[in-house]
Structures are given as C-alpha cells and as structure tokens.
C-alpha cells in the first residue's frame, strides 16, 4: 500500500473501524434476538463477549499505525512473559551483564575523562608551552621566558600567532570556615584569547582589567560551586585571598582550566585566574601561526633568545601531557574489552543452555507460522530486554565504581579531579548494551534457526541435546575460563609487583606518623623571625597533644615529590668543578627519630647545634660513600651552594631514604639543623616548602582532627594542607601499580563469578538433560560415584582446555604489553600455577552440586522422565 494511500486511510480510520464494529454488534444482537432473547438481554450478551470496544478499536488501529511497533510490542510482551517464566535465568543474566556493563562504563569514563576527551581549547594541537634549556644547566632544568624575551617574541616572532605568559600564584583563602590554600594563575592579556576560552558566567579579562590594580578574578567551575554554591549572580561578588578583596568577573565552563596538569604534585589544581599586572619572567604559551611548524617555532624563538651559548628554546605541545596516561590506561582498556567479551559470551552461554529446553517452544511457534526472521527478532528482543535492564543497572553501578576507583589514582594522572559519568559514557554504555544484545542474541538465534521443526517437536521424546549444541556450549565455557585466566594473571602480576615495591626498605618507619604540609602566609609571616616564632609555637602545641610522642619540622619529606637538589662542594675541591648534587633538607633535632630514620654513625642534631661553633651537617650513607669513598666522613667539611654559606662539619651519617619512589637507587641527601638556618633565604623557602611530622602511639588517622584543631588554636587562618599518614605517602608512591592491581582484581573477581555461574548453569542443565540416560545407566548397574565422576570429568576437561588457552594468551599479552612490573617476571610461573589452581577449584565447586544431583537420580523416575 502506497504511503499516500495509507495516510488517507489513517485519516478516516477511526470512524471506519467504529462503524465496522457497530455493525458487528448489531448483527450479533439481531441473531441473539432471533434465538429468543429479549432485546435488553441480547444487547448485554453481545457486549459481554465483545469486551471493550475502545480496546478493540485501538488494537485494530495499531495494525495500520505502526507495523513495526505493533510487532515489536507483541514480541516485547512475549519476551517479557518468557523471561518471567524463568526468573532465575533472567536475574543471573541481568546481574552479570550489569556488572560487566557497569565495570566497562566506569573504566571507560575514566579513560575518556583522562585521555580521550578533547582538551577544551580551540585547536589544542596548535598550542604549546615554550621552554628554554641549556646543556650546562644542572639536572636538566628548564625554564620559561624572561620578561625581555617574551616581549621580543610577542613583537617579532612570525611562526607563532600569539604569545601569552603566565605565572603560578599561591593564595590563602582567609576568613573561610576551613582555611585552605588555593592555586591560581596570573595571566597576560592574550591568555584566554590564545586558548579560545570564554566564560560561562560573566567574562574573561579585557584591557581595562590590566590598567587597574588587577584585583579581579576569573574562577573555575569547581571553585564557583564550592566557594559560591553556584550563585548565578556571582559576578561582582568579592572573595578574600591573602586578606585582599578580589572581585569575581567570570566563571569558566566545567572542566576548563589551564594548566590542566601539574605533574606529580598532589592536590595542585588551578582554580583562579587574575591579570598579570607586573610583567616578569613566566611560563610561555604560544599558538602556532597558520602554515608554520613546531620546528620553525623552535628555531625562530631560539634565535631571539640572545643568551649564553648553548641555550635553546623548545616547544612542548600541551596535549603531550596526556601521554603519561597511555600505559596505565591501555592496560585498563584491554581489561574492559575482555570483560565485555566475557559478558557477551556469558549471556550466549545462558541463552544456549536455556535454548535447548525451549526448543519445543520455538518449534511450536515455527509450526504456527513464525518465520525464521521473526524468530531471530524474538531472540534479539529478548536479549535487548535483558541488556536494557542491565544497562540501566550498569550505569548506576558505574557511578559508584568511579567514586571508588578515582581516589586510587596516582597523582600523576591529569584531569582526574573531574572524572564523571558524562554523555560520552552514557553513549558508550548504550552501544555496549546494544552490542551485547546483538552479539549474544544472534548467536542463540543462529543456533535455533537451524533447529528443524520436526526434530524440535520430536525432541520431547528423546530429550537430549544435539552434540553440535553441546560442543558450542563447551567452547563458550572454555573461552570464558580462558578470559578469566588472563584477567587473574594480570591482577596477580600487578598485586605482586605492588607487594614487592612495598616490601622495599624505605629507610624510615612510616607507621604511626602523621604528616602535613605547613605553608605560611607571606603577608603575615614575611619576616623570618615571626615565621620561626609561629613554627615553634606550632611544634610546642602539637607536642603537648595527648598521644603525640614527638613532632618535628623538615623542609622535605620522603616520597612527598619535592626536591631541593643542588651541588655540594667539599673542602679541598676545585670550585669550578661540578659538585655532587644532593637534596638539602633542613630539620629540627628530633626529625630522625620521628620518622624512624636510622643513625649509622656519629650523632643526630641536638639543641646545642644552634650554638655550636661551626655549622654542622648529617649525610646519608650514599652521600658519604660518594664524597669520601672508604674514609670516615665524620669531621670532614663541606658546603652547599644552595645556601651559599660557610663550611659545615659532618657530625653524623644516617641510612639512605627513598625520595621519589621506592624502587629508586639511593639519591644523595644532606641534613642541616633548623637552628642554624636562621637566614632570610632558607626561611623564604621554608614558608612554602616545609612539612611537620608527628609520631604517635595511636593511629595517625585518629589524631588528624586534634592536629587540625591545635594548628587553628595557634592561628585560625593557618591552612593544614596534605594532612595524611606517612604510610599514605608510601602507598601513593606505588599508586599506579596499586590502581592497576585493584582494577584488574575487581574485573578478575567479576570474571571468576561469571565463569562459575556459567559453569554451574551448564553442568546443571546437562545433568537435567541426561536424567534419562543417567537413570538408565543406574538401572543397568552403574555406581552413583561413577556417574558423578563422569559429570565432573567432563566439566573439568572444559576448564582444563580453557585454562590452557588462557595461560597461553596471558603469557603472550603480558610479554607484549609493557606492564612496568617491578621485580616480577611477566611469565612468573608461580602466578600462573596459582591462577590455574584457583580456576580449577572454582570450576570443581561449581559442578559439585549438579554432580551430587546426578547421584540422587531415582532410576525408575528417570526412565519415565519426559
């Protein structure tokens, strides 16, 4: 029927159907009256058997309105009914699918949020940071540009379209309930324009903002939400940073911030931007001119440097920062792929196992005129229903999983602070659910479309699965087990790598120590005497807390990610030669015992070091060994060029301490007593870089509240930053391994459960199917034990094949993927053996119950079994 005719038909359809039905009713009444009923009775009788005319009209009309919707609705109802008839199957399928989809969606959201989501800037590939470096500069240092260079680049560089400098600035949020430190950027006028960023509320900076005092602020979406409770009228409101009032002029869109990544520094997220009034040195952003190349930019900017020979300029495109995430996330992505595969296979297994018992049903439908296509559609609709329900549960589950997974992340993962379920994740979830439904549904349908009607109906007499069917099921089960092995091996390797990392002697005793970072407000404590006074008051107050054994101040803390590397000069060394690079740590006397650092020789610092005639220093073992190999370092003298002071006498040697990560070679370290650091330079450094460590006999976590309160007693506006147990710093340093281990363990556990359910279901089903055969064998004198053994042997055979394939696949994957494992070989035999043992145990347990059922078969009942 042509489209136009159908439309015309639809126009008068309701009246037509009504008339048709009215005629029907009247005819029926006439007949009933002719049969001897009174007109009233006839009317009632006719209506009664007719049902609701409105419903009949709707159904009839539907035939015209939605041909597809009509069929779909019928199929949906049928599918829902058939699922209701086997609630166990439906529940298992939905739960396992939901777990799979949920895990996949969560991990995808993370991978997307960190790695795949485009940077929220105009043509981000064309934006880069510019650095200067010089081969003579120590330890690969790199710098931004000087004010003069930046001006020159802005005026003359042809290969770049725009240049914008910026500098990081630390602010103290004062007057807040919980004083905090917030990080911001001072930016040049070109900054937002270069990035192509516009405010979502208010505006970014204009010319006028640069002619005033610069007390205006653009804030991040997160800052707007936390500090201003998403006030839509925020523009014009004031906020006090470092006791200075700033006026808000704009809010950036969600997730838009630059820089989006601050290396390994924890908690450092840029939240505010303000005009850079006084131009000076700074980091430099450039946008590539049309048609230019980065190579040309490097050459051109380098030529304008006008600096010492050997200094050159180079650019780092801003999306390079996302590179660091590639390795850990690619492991996760592979795992997600495996999990999805597993979920599909699992549902196929269940469908197939159930499909056999439904063969009669299907054949009957086929007999009653259902075409092959209709049967396929029926299967697909059934799996879509399952996948749809699982998808909804999966999304809910994934929001929980994300909340659990993200804190496990290493600090070095960019953009991890705002990972969430977003439209891309939902789209992913939808496509995954659809793909699952299609994949598992078509396999089952493909299988059942082969079933011959006669064979299917006759199957009720014989009640046995075809061998081809059984082979397919076994194959699926074996693949599930193989996948399981791969995931378990991955999880095992990462967990062991983590454990081995944590087993490394860090050189200190982390348990029982609480630490926090002390950042002093320069406006209040700019004078070093005042800074020292408040530091001492704080330490005294903390030491007086119940449960506190000692509290000490240090410039650096092991595994905190900070470094003060600078050259050492020993007495008698030629000053023009390069000295040994060492981290200089300024500490109060009790520091060694507070963090449990072992003294190897000499003495630790004491209160007397302040009045000691000459400066004193304590070395780490490796420093002593490289400065004076084979000699006693005590009494020798050296000085640090960072502090640029007089000679210091070595009074002690302590053990090596891990500084950046647990598996590093020992890095040189020297310790200087705090009491001898009374000079402006060191104090300026310590106002931004110093830690307080507190050793307690009780749990450090429980002490946190009291520590915070004690600090606020001394100064209510003093932020307590990065308050955490020292053990947490150790754990954070292995976060990448830990994260991979945890995620893979989660997925592997899931896979194990799924495989066990599949195995149980299939074996259980096989026993049911073979009831008659098993009963016959019992009647013929077979022992029950033999039967159970036969049932178990078959499943264990499948498990064995699956394990073998899995071990091989895991071996290949572990060798090809760069896993970054520590001290564990990707082919570590123990891991593989343990995994296979675990799988075998689970497989055995899964078929134990059905096997027991086989032994309980009553021979006579079984022979009558249909």
Partner 1 sequence: MARRDKLQGSLDLLILRTLRGEPQHGYGITSQIQAWSDGELEVEEGSLYPALHRLERDELLTAEWRETEAGRRAKYYKLTRKGRKHLEAELKRWGRLSSAIALFLERSDA
25 versus 600: smaller Cβ distance to partner 1: 25
Q: Which of 72, 370, 375, 470 binds partner 1 (CB under 8 A)?
A: 370
The footprint of partner 1 on residues 184-243 (CB under 8 A) is none
56 versus 796: smaller Cβ distance to partner 1: 56
d(CA 77, CA 409): 45
Q: Does 2 bind partner 1 (CB under 8 A)?
A: no
Identify which range of 13-21, 97-105, 483-491, 566-574 contacts partner 1 by CB under 8 A: 13-21
3 versus 139: smaller Cβ distance to partner 1: 3
Q: Which of 18, 37, 78, 573 binds partner 1 (CB under 8 A)?
A: 78
Rounded least distance, CB 771 to partner 1, Å: 19
d(CA 131, CA 178): 37
Q: Does 21 bind partner 1 (CB under 8 A)?
A: yes
Rounded least distance, CB 740 to partner 1, Å: 51
Q: Does 647 bind partner 1 (CB under 8 A)?
A: no
Rounded least distance, CB 69 to partner 1, Å: 13
Q: Does 373 bind partner 1 (CB under 8 A)?
A: no
C-alpha distance across the termini of the chain, in Å:
48
Q: Does 812 bind partner 1 (CB under 8 A)?
A: no
Is beta strand 180-187 parallel, antiparallel or unpaired with respect to 270-275?
parallel
362 versus 395: smaller Cβ distance to partner 1: 362
Q: Which of 23, 337, 450, 681 binds partner 1 (CB under 8 A)?
A: 23
Q: Does 77 bind partner 1 (CB under 8 A)?
A: yes
Q: Does 37 bind partner 1 (CB under 8 A)?
A: no
Q: Does 183 bind partner 1 (CB under 8 A)?
A: no
d(CA 572, CA 577): 11
Q: Does 125 bind partner 1 (CB under 8 A)?
A: no
23 versus 681: smaller Cβ distance to partner 1: 23
Burial class (CB in 10 A: 0-12, 13-18, 19+), 35: exposed
Residue 829, token pair as written in the block: 């035999």
Q: How many CB atoms lie within 10 A of CB 658?
A: 20
Identify which range of 27-35, 544-552, 637-645, 746-754 contacts partner 1 by CB under 8 A: 27-35
Q: Does 278 bind partner 1 (CB under 8 A)?
A: no
Rounded least distance, CB 44 to partner 1, Å: 16
Q: Does 318 bind partner 1 (CB under 8 A)?
A: no
26 versus 664: smaller Cβ distance to partner 1: 26
Rounded least distance, CB 28 to partner 1, Å: 6
16 versus 320: smaller Cβ distance to partner 1: 16
CB 116 within 8 A of CB 128: no
The residues, any chain, with a CB within 8 Å of residue 830's CB and separated by 6 or more, are none
Burial class (CB in 10 A: 0-12, 13-18, 19+), 578: exposed
CB 274 within 8 A of CB 283: no
Three-state DSSP at 140 gives helix
Q: Which of 7, 368, 462, 780 binds partner 1 (CB under 8 A)?
A: 368
The footprint of partner 1 on residues 455-514 (CB under 8 A) is 457-458, 461
48 versus 229: smaller Cβ distance to partner 1: 48
The residues, any chain, with a CB within 8 Å of residue 155's CB and separated by 6 or more, are none
Rounded least distance, CB 348 to partner 1, Å: 26
CB 842 within 8 A of CB 756: yes
d(CA 361, CA 358): 5
At 166, which helix (H) or strand (E)?
strand 160-173
55 versus 198: smaller Cβ distance to partner 1: 55
The footprint of partner 1 on residues 722-781 (CB under 8 A) is none
81 versus 290: smaller Cβ distance to partner 1: 81
Q: Which of 8, 12, 44, 74 binds partner 1 (CB under 8 A)?
A: 74
What burial letters (b/e) apply to 75-114, b meaning 16+ CB within 10 Å? bbeebeebbeeeeebbebbbbbbbbbbbbbbbbbbbbbbb
CB 339 within 8 A of CB 104: yes
67 versus 237: smaller Cβ distance to partner 1: 67
Q: Does 72 bind partner 1 (CB under 8 A)?
A: no
Q: Which of 10, 116, 316, 367 binds partner 1 (CB under 8 A)?
A: 367
At 799, which helix (H) or strand (E)?
helix 784-816
Identify which range of 83-91, 190-198, 315-323, 364-372 contacts partner 1 by CB under 8 A: 364-372
The footprint of partner 1 on residues 438-457 (CB under 8 A) is 453-454, 457
Q: Does 24 bind partner 1 (CB under 8 A)?
A: yes
E strands, 610-720, are 615-620, 637-640, 648-654, 669-673, 691-696
Over its C-alpha atoms, the chain yields an Rg (Å, rounded) of: 37
Rounded least distance, CB 63 to partner 1, Å: 4
Q: Which of 12, 44, 63, 503 binds partner 1 (CB under 8 A)?
A: 63
d(CA 443, CA 194): 53
Residue 618, token pair as written in the block: 């304590």
Identify which range of 23-31, 403-411, 721-729, 785-793 contacts partner 1 by CB under 8 A: 23-31
Q: Does 372 bind partner 1 (CB under 8 A)?
A: no
Rounded least distance, CB 61 to partner 1, Å: 8
Residue 804, token pair as written in the block: 């073998």
d(CA 112, CA 141): 32
Q: Which of 18, 28, 317, 341 binds partner 1 (CB under 8 A)?
A: 28
Identify which range of 69-77, 111-119, 390-398, 813-821 contacts partner 1 by CB under 8 A: 69-77
Q: How many residues does the chain have?
A: 866
Q: How far is CA 515 from the centre of its chain?
A: 26
CB 561 within 8 A of CB 517: no
Number of residues that bind partner 1 (CB under 8 A): 38
CB 795 within 8 A of CB 759: yes
CA torsion 340-343-348-349 (nearest 10°) is: 130
Nearest 5°: the CA angle 765, 768, 771 is 150
Binding mask 43-62 for partner 1 (x = CB under 8 A): ------xxx---xx--xxxx
Q: How many CB atoms lie within 10 A of CB 357?
A: 16
Q: Which of 14, 19, 156, 267 binds partner 1 (CB under 8 A)?
A: 19
Q: Does 34 bind partner 1 (CB under 8 A)?
A: no
Q: Does 18 bind partner 1 (CB under 8 A)?
A: no
Q: Does 67 bind partner 1 (CB under 8 A)?
A: yes
Residue 25, token pair as written in the block: 């009713």
* Closest residue by Cα to residue 355 from 468, 444, 438: 444
60 versus 573: smaller Cβ distance to partner 1: 60
Rounded least distance, CB 388 to partner 1, Å: 21
Q: Does 529 bind partner 1 (CB under 8 A)?
A: no
Burial class (CB in 10 A: 0-12, 13-18, 19+), 685: middle
Three-state SS sequence of 393-411: HHHHHHHHHHHHHHHHCCC
Residue 110, token pair as written in the block: 């993370």
Burial class (CB in 10 A: 0-12, 13-18, 19+), 499: middle
Rounded least distance, CB 464 to partner 1, Å: 16
26 versus 536: smaller Cβ distance to partner 1: 26
Residue 198, token pair as written in the block: 């516009």
Q: Which of 20, 664, 713, 858 binds partner 1 (CB under 8 A)?
A: 20
Q: Which residues would be at the binding site for partner 1 (CB under 8 A)?
A: 1, 16-17, 19-21, 23-24, 26-28, 31, 49-51, 55-56, 59-64, 67, 70, 74, 77-78, 365, 367-370, 453-454, 457-458, 461
């Amino acid at each position: 029927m042509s489209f136009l005719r159908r439309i015309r038909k639809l126009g008068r359809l309701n009246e037509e159907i009504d008339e048709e039905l009215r005629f029907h009713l009247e005819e029926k009444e006439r007949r009933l009256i002719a049969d001897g009923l009174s007109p009233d009775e006839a009317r009632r009788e006719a209506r009664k058997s007719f049902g609701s005319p409105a419903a009949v009209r709707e159904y009839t009309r539907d035939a015209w309105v939605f041909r597809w919707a009509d069929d779909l609705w019928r199929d949906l109802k049928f599918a829902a009914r058939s699922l209701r008839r086997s609630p166990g199957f439906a529940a298992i399928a939905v739960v396992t699918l939901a777990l799979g989809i949920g895990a996949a969606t969560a991990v995808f959201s993370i991978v997307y949020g960190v790695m795949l989501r485009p940077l929220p800037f105009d043509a981000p590939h064309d934006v880069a940071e510019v650095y200067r470096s010089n081969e003579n500069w120590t330890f690969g240092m790199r710098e931004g540009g000087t004010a003069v260079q930046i001006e020159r680049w802005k005026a003359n560089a042809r290969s770049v379209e725009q240049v914008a400098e910026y500098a990081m600035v630390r602010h103290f949020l004062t007057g807040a309930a919980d004083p905090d430190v917030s990080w911001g950027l001072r930016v040049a006028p070109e900054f937002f324009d270069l990035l192509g960023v516009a405010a979502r509320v208010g505006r970014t900076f204009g010319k006028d903002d640069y002619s005033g005092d610069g007390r205006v602020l653009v804030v991040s979406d997160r800052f707007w939400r936390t500090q201003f409770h998403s006030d839509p009228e925020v523009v014009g409101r004031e906020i006090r940073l470092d006791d200075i009032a700033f006026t808000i002029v704009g809010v950036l869109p969600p997730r838009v911030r630059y820089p989006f990544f601050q290396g390994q520094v924890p908690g450092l997220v840029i939240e505010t931007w303000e005009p850079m009034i006084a131009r000076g040195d700074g980091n430099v952003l450039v946008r590539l001119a049309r048609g230019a190349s980065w190579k040309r930019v490097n050459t051109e900017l380098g030529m304008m440097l006008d600096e010492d020979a050997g200094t050159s300029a180079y650019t780092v495109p801003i999306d390079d920062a996302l590179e660091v995430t590639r390795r850990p996330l690619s492991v996760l992505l592979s795992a997600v792929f495996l999990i999805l595969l597993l979920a599909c296979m699992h549902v196929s297994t269940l469908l197939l196992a159930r499909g056999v018992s439904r063969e009669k049903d299907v054949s009957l439908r086929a007999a009653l005129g259902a075409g092959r296509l209709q049967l396929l559609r029926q299967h697909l609709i059934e799996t879509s229903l399952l996948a749809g329900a699982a998808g909804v549960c999966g999304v809910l589950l994934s929001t929980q999983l994300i909340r659990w997974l993200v804190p496990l992340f290493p600090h070095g993962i960019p953009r991890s602070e705002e990972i969430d379920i977003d439209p891309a994740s939902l789209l992913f979830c939808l496509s995954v659910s659809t793909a699952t439904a299609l994949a598992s549904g078509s396999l089952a349908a493909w299988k059942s479309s082969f079933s011959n009607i006669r064979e299917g109906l006759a199957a009720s007499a014989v009640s046995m699965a075809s061998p081809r069917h059984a082979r397919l099921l076994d194959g699926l089960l074996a693949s599930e087990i193989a996948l399981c092995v791969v995931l378990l091996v991955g999880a095992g390797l990462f967990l062991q790598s983590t454990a081995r990392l944590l087993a490394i002697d860090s050189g200190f005793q982390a348990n029982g120590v609480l630490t926090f970072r002390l950042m002093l407000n320069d406006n209040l404590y700019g004078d070093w005497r005042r800074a020292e006074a408040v530091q001492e008051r704080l330490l005294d107050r903390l030491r007086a807390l119940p449960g506190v054994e000692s509290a000490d101040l240090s410039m650096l803390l092991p595994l905190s990610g900070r470094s003060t590397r600078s050259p050492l000069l020993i007495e008698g060394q030629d000053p023009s030669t390069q000295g040994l690079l060492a981290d200089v740590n300024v500490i109060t006397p009790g520091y060694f015992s507070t963090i449990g650092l072992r003294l190897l020789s000499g003495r630790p610092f004491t209160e007397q070091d302040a009045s000691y005639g000459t400066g004193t220093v304590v070395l780490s073992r490796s420093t002593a060994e490289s400065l004076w190999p084979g000699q006693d370092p005590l009494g020798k003298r050296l000085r640090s060029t960072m502090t640029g002071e007089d000679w210091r006498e070595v009074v002690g040697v302590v053990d090596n301490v891990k500084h950046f990560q647990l598996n590093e070679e020992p890095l040189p370290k020297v310790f200087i007593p705090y009491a001898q650091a009374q000079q402006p330079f060191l104090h300026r450094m310590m106002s931004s870089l110093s830690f307080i460590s507190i050793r307690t006999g009780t749990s450090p976590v429980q002490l946190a509240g009291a520590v915070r309160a004690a600090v606020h007693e001394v100064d209510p506006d003093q932020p307590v930053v990065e308050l955490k147990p020292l053990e947490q710093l150790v754990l954070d340093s292995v976060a990448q391994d830990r994260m991979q281990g945890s995620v893979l363990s989660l997925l592997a556990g899931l896979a194990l459960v799924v495989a066990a359910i599949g195995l149980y279901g299939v074996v259980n089903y096989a026993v049911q199917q073979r009831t008659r055969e098993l009963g016959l064998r019992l009647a013929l004198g077979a022992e029950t034990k033999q039967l159970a053994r036969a049932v178990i042997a078959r499943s264990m055979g499948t498990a064995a094949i699956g394990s073998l394939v899995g071990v091989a696949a895991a071996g290949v994957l572990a060798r090809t993927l760069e896993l970054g494992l520590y001290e564990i070989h990707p082919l570590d035999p123990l891991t593989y053996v343990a995994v296979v043992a675990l799988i075998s145990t689970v497989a055995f347990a899964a078929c134990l119950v059905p096997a027991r059922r086989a032994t309980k078969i009553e021979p006579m009942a079984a022979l009558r079994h249909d």
